[in-house]
Structure 1
Amino acid sequence: MTELTSPAAFPVTSGRRKGYDPGAVDDFLSGARAAFEDEAATLTSDDVRAAAFPLVRHGYAVDAVDGALARIEDAFAQRERASAMSRRGARAWVGASRALAQEILDRLSRPSRRRFRRVSHFRFGYRIDEVDLVAGRIARYLESGESLTIEQVRTVAFRMQLGGYDETQVDAVLDAVVDVMQSVG
């Protein structure tokens, strides 16, 4: 992770395009590096996944930072997996991962247009048809091992619609899918 804390590690946006605030990114990466080196630190892969930075002119290119964060998240997840397996044993770890996968599959197996809570008809939420399409793909991954990568889940984006699916609920399930995928390594 050393190269990720260097100011030259990320391209900087130009013109009217905005990017992540370099100071905020550098501070986060510095803290993440320190936390990774100190196994007693409390930063987790979930914390890395939830990291957000202000957008500014002449900021770091969003795609480059997001790619680095994904790699850092994976490193923390691998460490968390190894730690949990040594504490609880491989059987318990696999059992917990299976239980979470089954919980996700149960939700995604609900009828189309009813997989998630809907927002009010006067508010915007994720487009139902797009979320249902992705939900079907994730369900097939969990049921039969259809090809799907963590990066595809991390980068999925949905358009908005009035009365759509609740963003928070959909995002929580996507985060859980990433957790399951990371747990199986």
Structure 2
Amino acid sequence: MTDSVRSDAAGSAPSFAVVTRREKGYQRAAVDTFLGRARSAFEDEAEGISAADIRAASFPLVRGGYDIAAVDAALARVEDAFAQRERAAAVAAAGGSAWVGRARTDAQMILDHLSRPEGHRFARTGPLTFGYRVDEVDHVAKRIVRFLRDGDALSAEQVRQTAFRMQRRGYREEQVDALLDATIDVLLAIR
């Protein structure tokens, strides 16, 4: 549910829908600052912000902040634009075959990693700590394998929206997240 009033204290319209004061959303100033930096970097074709940086962006949660889904959707579009520009620059510098070769190499590394047996694809957390649910991660891993090996449909947005519940002795989050990021890179590279 968003507030019907969509202006901030200064009277200017916010960039995104704002959640009610009871709900949490992304801190407005943090989002506006980051997207302003991204816009400047993109328009000036400056180095310093990449598609991976856009994907890794995170913002504090506060009451009355920006609607999370709206910001995440915008970030996905911005990431796609940066990825397309990065691909064009790489193709211009090294040629299309080098770009495709890198994407194939990355895809093969992902397939090699996911060829491990179910329940053993990633390191596990300790007995008293939580990690991603093994069965849920393995299910997503199968979808990624079917995409890379068999050509089944899979979009970067589907991978971005992947979320896992937690369990004791689950898969280590940072390893799973790194593989999902690599998968998104491959998906963006072959678009």
Same structural fold, with TM-score higher than 0.5 when normalized by the shorter chain: yes
CA distance in 1, matches of 2:61, 2:82: 25
1:52 to 58, 62, 71: 58
Equivalent runs, 1:19-58 vs 2, <5 Å: 19-58=25-64
Is the contact made by 2:111 and 2:145 (CA closer than 8 Å) also made in structure 1? yes
2:83 to 77, 80, 90: 77
Cα deviation, residue 54, structure 1: 0.6
Equivalent runs, 1:1-185 vs 2, <5 Å: 7-185=13-191
What RMSD over aligned residues (CA atoms) do the two structures have, in Å?
1.0
Is the contact made by 2:15 and 2:32 (CA closer than 8 Å) also made in structure 1? no
Cα-to-partner distance string for 1:114-156 (whole Å, 9 max, x where unaligned): 1111111111000000000000010000001111111110010
Q: Structure 1: 5+ residue runs without aligned partners?
A: 1-5
Change (3 A) 1:30 1:112: same
Runs of 4+ in structure 1 deviating by more than 4 angstroms, as ranges, are none
Is the contact made by 1:7 and 1:26 (CA closer than 8 Å) also made in structure 2? no
- Pick the structure with more helix per residue: 1
Change (3 A) 1:7 1:103: farther
Q: How many residues align?
A: 180
TM-score w.r.t. length of structure 1: 0.95
Aligned residues with identical type, % of pairs = 58
Amino acid at match of 2:81: A
Structure of larger gyration radius: 2
TM-score w.r.t. length of structure 2: 0.92
